[in-house]
């Protein structure tokens, strides 16, 4: 779903999802799921993914069923385009709390965000949780550590001047940090990471070997421009809306 400008930076957002969506759908249609590890979400999703690859028809059924459930809740709760911020395969983000939830395929509030920032260029978003902490979804080729996104929680949103000053401080922090985990990117090779140097070279090393790298040789602007600015830009844009 395409977002309008006013939704790039939004306060008070509910993230709804169908808990263990594909697992419960498979259970409801009578498929044998006894070999699927329900308790471990990562393992469960991987095992269901294998079943989908082995059976494309199952994948189509699950995708269509989850889409129909999501659309059902949107229509049943009379959510219009201004209320829906992002639709996902097993849920959605909305600025309204649902009034109706049934017991057949219950949908839950997964997270409540006090502030949510949507990238202008893709479907990634950053949410500042009401109870503390930051979620970042939809990032491709994630750095080894995403802790640098926690700075969004401490930005001063009270005034334009305070916000600009805190954004500048954020950038200074990134350019001066010695934490190399921010700049390591996993490759397809086992325990091999890559990083970009200020001279433009891309180097690959084992993770524990990066401690030998001087942080001053790392291209820190790359992280700011490709992973942080995408969420700063919508905030700056919102100032002029």
Tens-digit pLDDT profile for the chain (241 aa)? 434 334 578 889 999 999 899 999 999 889 889 889 989 988 999 999 999 999 999 999 999 999 999 999 999 999 998 899 999 889 999 999 999 998 888 899 999 999 999 998 888 999 999 999 999 999 989 999 999 999 999 998 888 889 999 999 999 999 999 999 999 999 988 889 999 999 999 999 888 888 888 999 999 999 999 999 999 999 888 776 4
Domain spans in the chain, listed from the N-terminal domain onward: 1-138, 141-241
Q: Which residues contact 219 (CB under 8 A, 6 or more apart)?
A: 183, 195, 196, 197, 198, 200
Provide the pLDDT for residue 61.
Answer: 94
Strands across the sheet with 185-186, in order? 185-186, 192-196, 202-206
Whether the Cβ atoms of residue 225 and residue 108 lie closer than 8 Å to each other: no
Provide the pLDDT for residue 7.
Answer: 53
Q: How many CB atoms lie within 10 A of CB 179?
A: 14
Whether the Cβ atoms of residue 216 and residue 195 lie closer than 8 Å to each other: no
The CATH T-level fold of domain 1-138 is: Palm domain of DNA polymerase (3.90.1600)
Torsion of CA 9, 15, 21, 25, to 10 degrees: -110
Q: Which residues contact 89 (CB under 8 A, 6 or more apart)?
A: 21, 63, 66, 67, 70
DSSP sequence for the chain: -PPPGGGSEEEEEEEEEETTHHHHHHHHTT---TTS-SS-HHHHHHHHHHHHHH-HHHHHHHHHHHHHHHHHHHHHTT--TTTEEEEETTEEEESS--S---SSS-EEEEEEEEEEEE-SSSS-EEEEETTS-EEEES-SS-BS--GGGGGGGGS--SSHHHHHHHHHHHHHHHHH---GGGG-EE-SSTTEEEEEBTTS-EEEEEGGGGGGS-GGGB-HHHHIIIIIHHHHHHHHHHHT-
């Amino acid at each position: 779903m395409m977002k309008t400008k006013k939704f790039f930076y939004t306060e008070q957002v509910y993230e709804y999802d169908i808990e263990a969506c594909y697992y419960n759908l498979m259970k409801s249609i009578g498929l044998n799921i006894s070999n699927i590890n329900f308790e471990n979400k990562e393992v469960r999703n991987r095992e269901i993914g294998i079943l989908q690859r082995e059976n494309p028809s199952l994948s189509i059924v699950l995708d269509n069923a989850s889409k129909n459930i999501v659309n059902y809740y949107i229509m049943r709760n009379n959510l219009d385009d201004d209320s829906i911020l992002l639709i996902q395969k097993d849920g959605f983000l909305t600025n309204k709390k649902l009034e109706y939830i049934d017991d057949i395929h219950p949908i839950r509030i997964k997270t409540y965000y006090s502030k949510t920032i949507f990238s202008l260029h893709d479907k990634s978003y950053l949410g500042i949780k009401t109870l503390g902490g930051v979620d970042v979804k939809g990032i491709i080729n994630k750095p080894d550590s995403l802790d640098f996104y926690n700075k969004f929680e401490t930005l001063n949103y009270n005034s334009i001047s305070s916000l600009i000053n805190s954004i500048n401080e954020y950038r200074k922090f990134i350019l001066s940090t010695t934490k190399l985990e921010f700049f390591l990117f996993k490759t397809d090779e086992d325990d091999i990471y890559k990083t970009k140097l200020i001279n433009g070279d891309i180097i690959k090393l084992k993770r524990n070997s990066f401690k030998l790298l001087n942080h001053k040789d790392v291209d820190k602007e790359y992280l700011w421009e490709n992973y942080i600015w995408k969420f700063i830009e919508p905030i700056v844009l919102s100032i002029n809306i």
